[in-house]
Amino acid sequence: MGSNNKCALAVSGVTVAFGGFKALTDVTLTVTSGTVYGLIGPNGAGKTTLVNVLTGFQTPSQGRILLNGRDVGTHPAHLLRREGVARTFQAGRLFSGLDVLDNLAVTGVGLGYSRHASEVEAMRVLDWIGVADLAEKPAAGLPYTDERRVGIARALMFDPAFLLLDEPAAGMSEAEAEDLALLIARAAKELETGVLLIEHNVGLVLSVSSHVYVLDAGQVIEAGDRDAIIASQRVRDAYFGSDQEAV
């Protein structure tokens, strides 16, 4: 299952409580480099809260966040990004007043690189994704699918070790989602990036992920490969209710 020198991003025994409500309870999950992992679950399962914990946007009430074995639970989001943990957001969050190239270059400057080095890297990443022709276009006018691709490109600036994608296929057609799956697979294989794909599109997740975690009511109820997830009664119960008729 891979070498011992693989990079790893993990949460161990993480609980997040908002007042009396537990958004996550005792969650343990690991993402290693060069592999696509899926995170699925019904609405309100706690998926985005978990992504926020992994990327420094939410401090857990209990548990640890580990980056290559180091506890980084107190590191803010910008520091985790500098340490190689990148993410996208459900709403693209592009800088609408800037063109596409500058949207990526801003990230490079924020990571401590020069403006020139950031622009060179931005063009490299846009070309790798296949959207170099968008470089000078205003971010505000992009079609929805291009906006998502640019968001992923921005997250891939300067080769992060880990990429967490929060609902990247939302609103995409089946063909667009299939193209996205190919892009995600390339990021893992060619860039050796560890990818955590958080999606409502279960088919997309199962098609591209080597290992899938299933959250329900803030807890991991199942984890395994595609076959294990498809065969799981607990997963079917979580999505459809335990009293559904067999079909």
pLDDT digits (tens, 9 = 90+) for 28-79: 999 999 999 999 998 889 999 999 999 999 999 999 999 999 999 999 999 9
For the entire predicted model, the pTM comes to: 0.91
Structural domain boundaries in the chain: 8-240
What number of other Cβ atoms are within 10 A of residue 78's Cβ?
Answer: 11
Distances (CA, A) of 201 to 104, 113, 205: 27, 36, 7
Whole-number Å distance between alpha carbons of 125 and 187? 11
CATH number of 8-240: 3.40.50.300
pLDDT one-digit tens code per residue, 106-122: 999 999 999 999 999 99
Provide the pLDDT confidence category of residue 5 given band limits of 50, 70 and 90. Answer: low
187: CB partners within 8 A, 6+ apart: 152, 156, 163, 193, 195
